[in-house]
Chain A
Amino acid sequence: MNTDIIPFIRKESLHILRDKRTLLIVLLQPAVMLLLFGFAISTEVNDVRVAAVAPHRTAGVTEAVNRVAHNPNFTFYGYIQQNEIDDVLRRGDVTAVVVFADDYDRAVMQAAQGYAVNPPIQIVVDASNTNIAGTASVYLQNILLGTASAQSLFETRLLYNPQMKSAYNFVPGIMGVIFMLVCAMMTSVSIVREKEVGTMEVLLVSPVRPTKIILAKMIPYFVISCVTLAIILLISRFVLDIPMSGGIGGIVFVSLIYLALALALGLLISTFARTQIAAWMVSAVVMLMPMIMLSGMLFPIENLPLVLQPLTCAVPARWYISAMRKMMIEGLPVGAAMTELAVLCFMLLAVLGFALKKFNDKLE
C-alpha cells in the first residue's frame, strides 16, 4: 500500500491552474482588499470644511481661525453671518461652524487668569455622520484650546500607531478573513465538487487511502495561501508601512497554524455539505458572518453585548486577529501571543481530528 501522493497533488494543481479566473481572484483579492481598506475606506477625518462666525475679528479670533485654516485636516470655508449657519450646514458646504463670542478676547484673558467665564466659543457640527462629527469636534476643540489657554493640562501620547492610520488596524482583520475564505471555502467546495460529479466514488474504489486524497487536496491550497500570506506581508511592510518590529518569523508561524486550521474547517464542512452550493453557503454565511461580527475585526469585543462575548472565544479568527495585532502592530515577539497560539493549536487538533473521523465514517 504505497501509492504515491504525487499524481494527486499534480492533479489538484492542474485543477487550480486550469481555473484561471478563480486563481486570479484568490491571488488579487488580498491586495485589493488591503489597499481598499488601507486607503479608500478610512475612518480618519480628512478635508473637513469649517466656517467661522465672528462679530469682531480681533487679533485673538484671527489667530484661532488661522490655526484651523493651517491644519491639514481642515479647510477654512470663510467667515459667515450668524443667520447663515443653518443654511451652509444644510447645503453641505461645511461640516462644522465655529462661533466666537462678542467678547472673545476678554473672556480668554479672564479664563487664563482663573476667572469663571461663559464659554467663548461654540462649535456647531453636522452630526449626520456621527463618526466624522465626533472626531472633528474633538479635533477642533484641541486646536482652539491651544490658542485659548497657554498650556494644556493633558499630554496624550499615541503608541504603536502614532499617526492613527486606520489601515494598521484592518490588516490583521483582513488576514483573518481572507485565509478563512481561501482555505476553508475553496477546499470544501473542491472536495464536494468531486462528490457531486461522481469522481470521488472512483477515487474511493481505487487502492488510494482516503486520507491521501484529502491531504493531496489540501496541499495546493496551502501553497496558494502561503503565496497570499507573502503578498499581504509585502504590501503591509512596503505599501502600508507597518513596521512589524516583533519579528517576521513569529507572524509567519502563527499564520501557518491558522491556515492549517482553516483547511481543517474546510474538510469538516465538506463532510456535511452534499452540493457545492451548500458548501459555499456554509463557508460564506455560517462561517464568514460570525467571523466578521465576532472576531473583533470590525467591532471591539469589549463593546459587544455581554451575552455575545463568550461566543467570540469559539471564533478562530478572534484569536488569530488578536495575535496578529500584537505582533504586527504592537511589535511584540511571538511570546506575547502564547495564549492565542495555544488556543489555535488546540482548535486545529480538535477540528482536524473530528473532520477526519467524520470523513472516514461517511465512507461506509
Chain B
Amino acid sequence: MKETAISIRELTKRFGDFTAVDRISFDVYKGEIFGFLGANGAGKTTAMRMLCGLSFPTSGSGTVAGFDVMREGEMIKRHIGYMSQRFSLYDDLTVMENIRLFAGIYNLTPYRTRRRAVELLSRLNFLGERHTLVGALPLGWKQKLAFSIATLHSPEIVFLDEPTGGVDPITRRQFWELIYEEANRGTTVFVTTHYMDEAEYCARVSIMVDGEVRALDTPAALKRQFATDSMDGVFRTIARGAKRAE
C-alpha cells in the first residue's frame, strides 16, 4: 500500500445555493505528480483552496500532509508550498530579498536560509543574479525562481496553480524538469494546468466537471478508456457534458 500525501472523502463546498465543489474524493500518493484538470468554473480553484487550508470545507473529511482539512488548516499551511498562476514574487525586491522574505515567513534559521539559497540558486544557475531585481528577469526565469522559492522550506506537498501560463514551450519543458527533480526528492506535486501535453507528464490525472471529479487515472489508462490517442481528446469528451458556463 502506497503512503498518501492527500486523502479526501466527499469534500464539498457550497456558497449559498451554489455547490462549487460536489463531494469529491481521491488520494494522492507521496512523491507523485498529480494533475488536477478541469475547465474554467469547474471548481478547481475552490477545491485547491480547501486543500491549502485557505477555505473551510462545508462538509466531508480528509487529510493533507497528515493534517485534518476540517480542523488543522494552520498546520497544513506550514507543510505545503504554493505557487499561483499569477506571478507570486515581488518585482521590486531582488532575488535574494525575495528568498529572505519567504525564509522569514517559514521561520528558517539564517544558516539554513543561506544554505538553501545557494543550493537552489546554483541549481538554477542563478547565483550571479542574486542581487538583480526580480522585475528585471524574463518571465520564464521568474517562474522557475517562484517554483524554487515555493519549495524553499522543503514542504511535503507543493501546489502549483497553472504554473506555466504564458511561457514558451522550451521554458515549460525546463520547468517540468524542475518539477521532476523535486518529485524525485520525495516531494508530492499537485498541479493544475490548461496544457494537455503537460497532463501527459503527470503520473495520474483527475478531471473535474461541474464541481465533480469525472475521471481519475493514469494518462495512458484514460486514453484507453476513452479510445483516443491524446489527453486533449479525453478532456474534450469529458468536458463536453459540462452544464456550467465558463
Contact = CB atoms under 8 A, between A and B. Distances in A.
Interface of A: 1-4, 6-8, 10-11, 14-15, 18-19, 197-199, 201-208, 363-364
B54 A1 contact: no
B88 A198 contact: yes
A3 B107 contact: yes
What secondary structure prevails in chain A residues at the interface with B? helix
Contacts of A207: 74, 77-78, 105-106
B56 interface: yes
Interface in B212-243: none
B26 interface: no
Interface in B75-114: 77-78, 80, 82-93, 97, 100-107
B154 interface: no
Interface of B: 52-56, 74, 77-78, 80, 82-93, 97, 100-107, 159
B97 A206 contact: no
What secondary structure prevails in chain B residues at the interface with A? loop
Contacts of A206: 77, 82, 102, 105-106
A8 B105 CA distance: 8
A19 B86 contact: no
B108 to A, nearest CB: 10
A203 B159 CA distance: 14
8 contacts: A14-B92, A14-B97, A15-B92, A199-B90, A201-B86, A207-B74, A207-B105, A208-B105
The 8 closest A-B pairs by CB, nearest first: A7-B104, A198-B86, A205-B82, A202-B88, A18-B92, A207-B78, A207-B77, A206-B105
B92 A19 contact: yes
Contacts of B100: 7, 10
Given A198-B85, A207-B78, 11 more contacts: A3-B105, A8-B105, A10-B101, A201-B82, A202-B83, A202-B84, A202-B88, A206-B82, A207-B74, A363-B54, A364-B55
Nearest to A4: B104
Nearest to B81: A205
A14 B106 CA distance: 19
Contacts of A7: 100-101, 103-105
Contacts of B90: 11, 15, 199
